[in-house]
Amino acid sequence: MTNKLEAERPLSPHLQIYRPMLTMMMSIAHRITGASLAVGFALLTWWLVAISIGPEAYATVDGFFGSLIGRLLLFLFTWALMLHMLGGIRHLIWDTGHALDTTSIEVAAWLTLISSMVLTVLIWVVGYALMGSH
Amino acid sequence: MATPLKRVRGLGAAHRGTETFWRQRVTAIANIPLVIFLVLSIVGHIGADYGQVKAYIANPIVAVLMLALIVSAAIHMRIGLREIIEDYVHGEGCKVAALVATTFFAGLIAIACTLAILKISLGS
């Protein structure tokens, strides 16, 4: 049933009329990474269940993650995880009422983006360095 | 007279009040150290064989932290996915179906991971 009050209320302009801004993109990225991490969680489940089943099942998962597509997926999930985690920390700070002025928001957006890339590369560099240590 | 004002009184449009908001923050805080732990665990075991990985997860401290991550992340994921669906899926039927599917997905993943970790740490 249409509510008369709602129907007559002016609508806000749609997303397309705005110039894309970093803070806006980071907000969208937070949602996209969050949703994609659900797929990452399913892969983690596959990994854990395979370990619980036995060596053959584990070899299949290990083979997939070791493949080029597997590595690419894991690299993207690493980045998504870092971006979502750092973006989440930013949100937790905002929840306290701090750093909400325009300068802080812009700085935080850049910090989140750059730190997520640095951390992702760092994780993979350390990962490859430790690869032969077992 | 019934106006939209009735929706902002009491528990709001979602009928859940601030409970979901708060739970999303608590699980977010828990997820930070637990995710760092997971990443370190995986990075530390690249190239390790099956026995080494299994023994690592079977360690009680590792198993407890993994279980904590699974529970916290599953709750966090369910809230987040529901929020996306509530924002973008407008048909009532589709929305309810997607929300139910989200709960099933989060529940199944949490149960599967939990059983796997218990089997690894308690089984032979």
* ipTM of the complex as predicted: 0.88
Which of these three, A66, A84, A114, is where a domain ends?
A66
Kindly state whether residues A60 and A106 are assigned to the same domain: no
Distance CA B72, CA B24 (A): 9
Shared domain for A61 and A75, answered yes or no, is no
How long a stretch of residues is chain B?
124
Q: What's the confidence (pLDDT) of residue A79?
A: 98
Alpha helix segments (H runs only) across chain A:
4-8, 22-53, 55-66, 68-95, 102-130
Per the structure, the complete domain to which residue A61 belongs is given by 37-66
Residues A87, A115, single domain; the answer is: yes
Interface test with A, best of B46, B53, B82 (most A CBs within 10 A): B46
Question: Domain check: are A113 and A72 in the same one?
Answer: yes
In chain A, how many domains are there?
2
Task: Give the tens place of pLDDT for each residue, B7-44.
Answer: 666 676 666 678 889 999 999 999 999 999 999 999 99
User: pLDDT tens digits for A76-131?
Assistant: 999 999 999 999 999 999 999 999 999 999 999 999 999 999 999 999 999 999 98
Question: Are A48 and B109 within 8 A, CB to CB?
Answer: no
Do A83 and A120 lie in one domain? The reply is yes
* Contact B91/A at CB under 8 A: no
Q: Are residues A92 and A59 in the same domain?
A: no
Residue that is written with structure tokens 């218990």 in the block: B118
Domains of chain B: 19-122 (1.20.1300.10)
Task: Give B4's pLDDT tier (boundaries 50, 70, 90).
Answer: low
DSSP three-state, residue B38 = helix
The pLDDT value recorded for residue A8 is 67
Return the structure tokens found at A65.
């993650």
Distance CA A88, CA A91 (A): 5
Q: Where is the domain boundary, A16, A47, A66?
A: A66
SS3 state of residue A117: helix
Q: The whole model's pTM is what?
A: 0.89
pLDDT for B7 equals 60
Q: Please check whether residues A76 and A119 belong to one and the same domain.
A: yes
Nearest one of A98, A80, A52 to B77, comparing CA atoms: A80
pLDDT score of A65 more than 50: yes
The pLDDT, as a whole number, for residue A1 is: 47
Mean pLDDT of chain B: 91
Find how far residue A104's CA is from the centre of its chain.
21
> Is A13 among the domain residues?
no
B72 touches chain A (CB under 8 A): no
